[in-house]
């Protein structure tokens, strides 16, 4: 759901950039005080970049890929990790690959970095004791993707690029499915695997945030 | 840096472009349905546009483009994290 250049008027794009810049600066502050491992952040960012290239076919002739903000947040124990990692991935995609617009970078960071990570991470925290980490990470990742897709539809609706109602319906419908087959399933799979291999990691109920 | 996760990431980079569906993604499909596809513009000459590596044809082009991108994210991520962490000791 990378918004390309041309879909947002420059004035709108600049507003989203200012909002994104606020969150990115907070994420940098988190990294300065809370980040434990540079190699883990770098490897996770590279992995999310790589998995974003894996478009999975879904019905109606469309496809979708995992975005990864919720996974990054769960594995590193903070939604700021998702903001930081998605910002890095989105900047590289926009500059090197023209995947997502340069002017749309703020909106894309806001949707897939900020909204997805925060909604998904706190859903995960709320559910993991009752439902277990696999179900909680699936639900968090699905909701994170849905809210990012709906935010994208609203931004493009305000811009006049999509009619608001139809945009919300189509973006919501496609990403409800992509959220199951890509974001939810893969996030739950990776979180469960990491917890089995590293039981004391930040993703576990005994991890950093729960302490 | 532990080797196993990095090898896994490189493996995904190689396999993803070979396995990926070429169907339009959710946003592109929505834009097609709602008649907005033509509004897309590209403002700058991206060196690896469309996930192709210049001068190489076919699947290998996508694999090289992906490995370049993955390497760039890995290096930038490591440098950024190191710089941010090193700022801490001076606080």
Q: For A130-156, how does the pLDDT look when each residue is reduced to its tens digit (9 = 90+)?
A: 999 999 999 999 999 999 999 999 999
- Interface mutation vs chain B, best among A12, A42, A76, most B CBs within 10 Å: A42
Q: For B34-63, how does the pLDDT look when each residue is reduced to its tens digit (9 = 90+)?
A: 999 999 998 988 999 999 999 999 999 999
* pLDDT for the residue numbered A127: 97
Q: Do the Cβ atoms of B74 and B6 come closer than 8 Å?
A: yes
Q: Please give, one letter per residue, the 3-state secondary structure of A179-209.
A: HHHHHHHHHHHHHHHHHHHCCCCCCCCCCHH
Q: For A66-77, how does the pLDDT look when each residue is reduced to its tens digit (9 = 90+)?
A: 999 999 999 999
For B51-70, give one letter per residue: b (16+ CB within 10 A) or e. bbbeeeeeeebbbbbbbbbb
Q: Do the Cβ atoms of B28 and A178 come closer than 8 Å?
A: no
Q: Do the Cβ atoms of A23 and A114 come closer than 8 Å?
A: yes
- Interface mutation vs chain B, best among A97, A146, A178, most B CBs within 10 Å: A97
Q: For A149-186, how does the pLDDT look when each residue is reduced to its tens digit (9 = 90+)?
A: 999 999 999 999 999 999 999 999 999 999 999 999 99
* pLDDT for the residue numbered A210: 43
For residue A75, the surrounding DSSP H or E stretch is helix A69-76
Instruction: Give the start-to-end residue ranges of the domains of chain B.
Output: 47-72
Bridge partners (DSSP) listed for residue B35: none
pLDDT band at A207 (very low <50, low <70, confident <90, very high): low
* pLDDT for the residue numbered B89: 55
Cα torsion angle, A49, A86, A121, A153, sign: negative
Q: Any residues with CB less than 8 A from the CB of A52 and at least 6 apart, and which?
A: A65, A66, A67, A68, A89, A93
Partners of residue B76 in chain A, C-beta under 8 Å: 42, 45, 88, 92
Q: Do B48 and A38 touch (CB under 8 A)?
A: no
Q: Do B26 and A149 touch (CB under 8 A)?
A: yes
Q: Do the Cβ atoms of A145 and A122 come closer than 8 Å?
A: no
In angstroms, what separates the C-alpha of A61 from chain B's closest C-alpha?
Answer: 6
CB pairs under 8 A between A and B: 201
* pLDDT for the residue numbered B84: 87
* pLDDT for the residue numbered B6: 95
- Taking only Cα atoms into account, the Rg of chain B, rounded to an integer number of angstroms, comes to 18
pTM score, whole prediction: 0.95
- Name the residue among B9, B17, B25 with its Cβ closest to that of A46: B9
Query: For residue A53, what is the DSSP state?
Result: T
Q: For A67-125, how does the pLDDT look when each residue is reduced to its tens digit (9 = 90+)?
A: 999 999 999 999 999 999 999 999 999 999 999 999 999 999 999 999 999 999 999 99
Q: Could you tell me which of A152, A23, A146 has the C-alpha nearest to residue A78?
A: A23
What's the length of chain B? 91
Residue of B nearest to A167 (CA): B30
Q: Any residues with CB less than 8 A from the CB of B8 and at least 6 apart, and which?
A: A47
Residue of A nearest to B2 (CA): A39
Q: What is the mean pLDDT of chain A?
A: 94
Residue of A nearest to B43 (CA): A5
Q: Any residues with CB less than 8 A from the CB of A16 and at least 6 apart, and which?
A: A8, A104, A106, A107, A110, A155
Residue of A nearest to B26 (CA): A174
* pLDDT for the residue numbered B91: 45
Partners of residue B80 in chain A, C-beta under 8 Å: 31, 41, 88
Q: Complex ipTM, two decimals?
A: 0.94
Enumerate domains of chain A plus CATH numbers. Answer: 10-205 (1.10.1760.20)
Give the DSSP letter string of chain B: --HHHHHHHHHHHHHHHHH---S-BHHHHHHHHTT-GGG-B--S--TTGGG--TT--HHHHHHHHHHHHHHHHHHHHHHHHHHHHHHHHT-
* pLDDT (average), residues A176-199: 95
Most confident of A4-13, A34-43, A189-198: A4-13
Both tokens assigned to B70: 């993955």
* pLDDT for the residue numbered A166: 98
Weakest-pLDDT range from A63-67, A205-209, B73-77:
A205-209
pLDDT at B90 over 70: no
Partners of residue B12 in chain A, C-beta under 8 Å: 47, 50-51, 54
Both tokens assigned to A210: 């729960």
């Amino acid at each position: 759901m990378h918004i390309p250049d041309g879909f947002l008027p420059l004035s709108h794009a600049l507003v989203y950039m200012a909002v994104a810049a606020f969150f990115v600066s907070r994420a940098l502050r988190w990294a300065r005080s809370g980040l434990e491992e540079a190699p883990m952040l770098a490897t996770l960012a590279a992995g999310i970049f790589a998995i974003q290239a894996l478009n999975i076919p879904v019905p109606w002739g469309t496809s979708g890929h995992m975005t990864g903000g919720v996974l990054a947040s769960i594995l590193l124990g903070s939604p700021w990790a998702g903001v930081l990692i998605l910002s890095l991935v989105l900047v590289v995609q926009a500059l090197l690959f023209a995947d997502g617009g340069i002017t749309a970078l703020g909106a894309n960071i806001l949707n897939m970095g900020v909204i997805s990570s925060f909604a998904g991470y706190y859903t995960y925290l709320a559910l993991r004791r009752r439902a277990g980490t696999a179900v909680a990470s699936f639900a968090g990742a699905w909701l994170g993707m849905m809210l990012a897709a709906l935010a994208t539809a609203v931004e493009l609706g305000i811009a006049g690029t999509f009619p608001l109602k139809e945009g919300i319906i189509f973006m919501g419908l496609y990403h409800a499915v992509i959220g199951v087959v890509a974001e939810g399933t893969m996030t739950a799979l990776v979180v469960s695997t990491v917890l089995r291999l590293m039981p004391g990691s930040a993703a576990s109920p005994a991890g950093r945030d729960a302490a | 840096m532990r080797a196993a996760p990095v090898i896994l990431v490189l493996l995904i980079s190689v396999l993803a472009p070979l396995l990926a569906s070429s169907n339009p993604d959710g946003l592109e499909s929505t834009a097609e349905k709602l008649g907005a596809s033509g509004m897309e513009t590209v403002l700058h000459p991206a060196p690896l546009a469309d996930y192709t590596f210049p001068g190489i044809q076919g699947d290998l082009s996508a694999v090289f483009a992906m490995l370049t991108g993955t390497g760039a994210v890995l290096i930038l991520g490591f440098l950024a994290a190191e710089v941010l962490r090193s700022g801490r000791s001076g606080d």
